[in-house]
Every structure is written in C-alpha cells, then in structure tokens.
Amino acid sequence: PDLVAVDDDFTHLLRSWFNRGFLELRVIDWSSPAEILDKIIQYDGVHEIVDWDELRRRLHPKDRRCFAFFHPQMPNVPLVFVEVALTRGIPAHIGALLTEDRNPIDTGKADTAVFYSISNTQVGLKGVSFGNFLIKQVVEELVRELPNLSTFVTLSPVPGFARWMSKQESLMSGSNSSALDPAVFETLKVSDWQEDEEQQATIRPAMEKAVAIYLLEAKGRDNAPADPVARFHLNNGAMLERINFCGDISAKGMLQAYGFMVNYLYDLNAIERNHELYANGGKIAASPGINKLLDR
C-alpha cells in the first residue's frame, strides 16, 4: 500500500513515454530483419507459430500482411503487432487461414481484410493500450493500398467462454444459467464431440445461444463485458458480427472456448458511433443475427 503512489507515477510515466505520437507503424514481411521476425515467433499469443516455415506462411504470401508499432528507443522490438489475411468473404474457421496447403488469392480480388492475431509483446506495458490505435491505422493503410477492400473484420478467440460455462454448470440456479440447456454440459464431456456431426447438430443451437449470452450479458470488472477480447474490440468501436461454431478445434481452441470464434466487424461508418455508445452507456453493437439468438 505504501508504494501505490510510486506505482501510479510509473504508470503515468510509461504512458507518456509510449504515447501514440511517438510510435512508428511498420510493415513486417519475410524480408524484415531476422531479429524482428524472431520476435513475431516468440510473442504471438493467439495462434502459436511453431517454426520459421510457419512464419513464412504467415508473412510471405501476397495475400498476407503484418503490421507493428515500434518505439524509437526500441527499434528492433515490436510493441504490438497484428497479422492480417486478405480474403473473399468473412471466414468462419481459422484452419482455412493457417493450413499449409492453402492457395494464395489475387489481392486485387480480395474484398475482406481479416485481423486474426493481435499480440502485445511487453508484459511491463500491460496498462498502456496500443491495439486500438494499431487497428485503426492499419485499416487506413490497407484502404490506401487496396481500395477494393470493403470489409474489415476479426476472427477472434473467446478466451473466457469455457471458464464461464464451467461456472454456470456449478451454479445451475444462477440468473444466466436458466437460459442454458443442462444437456449441453453432458455433451461437452463426450470425448471428441467436435468430430461427430450428430453430436455437433445436437449441441450447436444451445451452444451458440450460450456464447451470445456470455458476450452480451456476462459482466466482469466495472460492469464491462467479461470477455477480454470482446472488451478490446467493442471499446474500439467494432460490432459483434457473427459467432462461429467449431471455428477453432485445435487443442487450445477447445480448451478455452469449446472451439468457438467470433467475427467483430469494423464498419468505417459506424466505428465512432459504436465506440461512443459503448464508452458512455455500455451499449454493445451486435448484428441482427446475434440478437436473434437471444430473441431480441
């Protein structure tokens, strides 16, 4: 307690030193210095990059981009970076973006930019937000380079969903749990249910509704959405566009969200309005399809 004032001073100092005005946006590609590329492998906290071959598949194809913020005093250390896939249409599954045998598309035919991995590299700067500025500036850069792009979305994890579901199961009389089907919890205990089409069909409607409840109604600190990724994108002015069943069936995806992923849409004409409504009143912008899951 005696060091609270010192902690506040350090936070203020770091926010000043790492002010957006000092940061430099750079493109990271396969020709970037090895020291920087190694940092991308080391710090990707969303979809692990296991080796240099996989990094090449993320950076080298003509329909892939990576952008990062750097500080002048740390020229070889990206503070935060975002990996982007150029696609036709909004993807629902991360596997299609990361598979080894993927055929790159002509960037002139792409209509969608997908932000599928956003990672901070410095734990000590956890209280200093860079990602919101990064996404908005990257959108500007992409529009300038590729005016044919009309849609800007994420393909995001739902890292707190499985933990929230576990809590709902233990508190079946809770206010949220009344909307959940108890049979869902039994199906989730079946080994490899995500590989069984019959099991998928049985569980999908109730699970999609559960994700909608979690993202729109579950609250964490300061009455903000419980999910950290949702807080980040909604505060940036994005809209909760679509819930993707079995969007990531990797071991990590199943562990943290039973395979669910989410698309957050960055509508250039609505970003500021969505941000103001969220920041001032906690209103979450959601598509008609999401609202329909909750009979809104």
Residues labelled as active-site residues: 156, 233
Q: Considering only CA atoms, which of 89, 131, 140, 133 is closest in space to residue 114?
A: 89
Handedness of CA 165, 119, 37, 87 (dihedral sign): positive
Strands 151-154 and 156-157: unpaired
CA distance linking residue 240 with residue 288, whole number of Å: 10
Hey, is 33 helix, strand or coil? coil
**Distance from C-alpha of 134 to C-alpha of 124, rounded to nearest angstrom:** 19
Residue matched to tokens 């991360």? 94
User: Got the DSSP string for the chain?
Assistant: -TTHHHHHHHHHHHHHHT-GGG-EEEE--TTS-HHHHHHHHHH--SS---SHHHHHHHHSSTTEEEEEEEBTTBTTS-SEEEEEEEESS----HHHHH-TTPPPPPGGG--EEEEEEEEE--GGGTTS--HHHHHHHHHHHHHHH-TT--EEEE-EE-TTHHHHHHHHHHTTTSTTGGGS-HHHHHHHTSTTGGG-HHHHHHHHHHHHHHHHHHHHH-B-GGG-BS-HHHHHHHHTT-EEEEEETTS--SHHHHHHHTT-EEEEE--TTTHHHHHHHHHHH-PPPB-HHHHHHTT-
